[in-house]
Every structure is written in structure tokens, then in C-alpha cells.
């Protein structure tokens, strides 16, 4: 079992470029999450999906869109990247709706120039 996988591991973008971060899980969990982690800021929730077909905004959704393609996959899209979106992005899964253990992917390091 791979658990939670993320692609790509690293990415460098120029301001204004777009890209999609992919996340897949084989844990059969209902909930999936996207976080960003910046130095000294902790993890901040961007978007989450409580179940297939539903998505909701988290704390910092501006500049991002998400798609819950099926139970396994949850993608995060940056339509027009900005330097402020330079961060480490983590995808996570969980069995419930926030009060449960979360399992994280290895992260995507994004640099926007």
C-alpha cells in the first residue's frame, strides 16, 4: 500500500503560470485535505473534501481550485501562480470530518519566481 502519494515532488513556476498538484490515496478514506506549510506559520488548510463529489474552502483558499475526481484522487490547481504561493503543499486523508487522525503525503515543494 502506497498510502498517500503526491506529484510532483518539486516544481518551479514563473509568475502567471498554471499547474495542478496531484494527490492519490489507497486508504479508502472519505476525507481529503490540501494544506500549505510556510516557515513559522504551521499548516494552513486550503481546501478539503468530506466525500467524493464535495469540496469546501478552508482557511486560505484564494488563488486555488480543487477537484475531487473520485474517492482516490484530489487535485489542487493554481490558475495563475504568484510568488506568495511559494510553499510546501501537503495532501492528507482522514476517515471522518476533521476530528480524526490524518495521514499525509510526502509533500510538493513549489517555488514561484
Q: Alpha-carbon distance 73 to 78, whole Å?
A: 17
Nearest to 29 by CA among 90, 77, 91: 91
Q: Between 16 and 96, whose beta carbon lies closer to other proteins?
A: 96
Query: By rule CB under 8 A, what string of x and - marks binding of each residue 62-101 to other proteins?
Result: ----------------------------x---x-xxxxxx
Does the footprint of other proteins cover residue 2 (CB under 8 A)?
A: no
Q: Alpha-carbon distance 108 to 28, whole Å?
A: 22
Instruction: Write down the least CB distance from residue 35 to other proteins, Å.
Output: 8
Cβ atoms of 66 and 59 within 8 Å: the answer is no
Does the footprint of other proteins cover residue 8 (CB under 8 A)?
A: no
Q: Alpha-carbon distance 81 to 103, whole Å?
A: 27
Residues in contact with other proteins by CB under 8 A are: 31, 33, 35, 40-45, 48, 50, 56-59, 90, 94, 96-107
Amino acid at each position: 500500500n502506497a498510502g498517500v502519494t503526491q506529484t510532483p515532488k518539486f516544481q518551479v513556476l514563473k509568475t502567471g503560470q498554471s499547474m495542478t498538484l496531484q494527490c492519490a490515496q489507497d486508504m479508502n478514506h472519505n476525507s481529503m485535505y490540501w494544506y500549505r506549510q510556510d516557515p513559522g506559520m504551521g499548516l494552513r488548510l486550503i481546501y478539503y473534501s468530506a466525500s467524493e463529489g464535495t469540496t469546501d474552502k478552508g482557511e486560505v483558499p484564494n488563488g486555488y481550485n480543487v477537484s475531487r475526481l473520485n474517492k482516490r484522487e484530489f487535485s489542487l490547481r493554481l490558475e495563475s501562480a504568484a510568488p506568495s504561493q511559494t510553499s510546501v503543499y501537503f495532501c492528507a486523508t482522514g476517515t471522518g470530518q476533521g476530528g480524526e487522525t490524518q495521514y499525509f503525503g510526502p509533500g510538493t515543494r513549489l517555488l514561484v519566481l
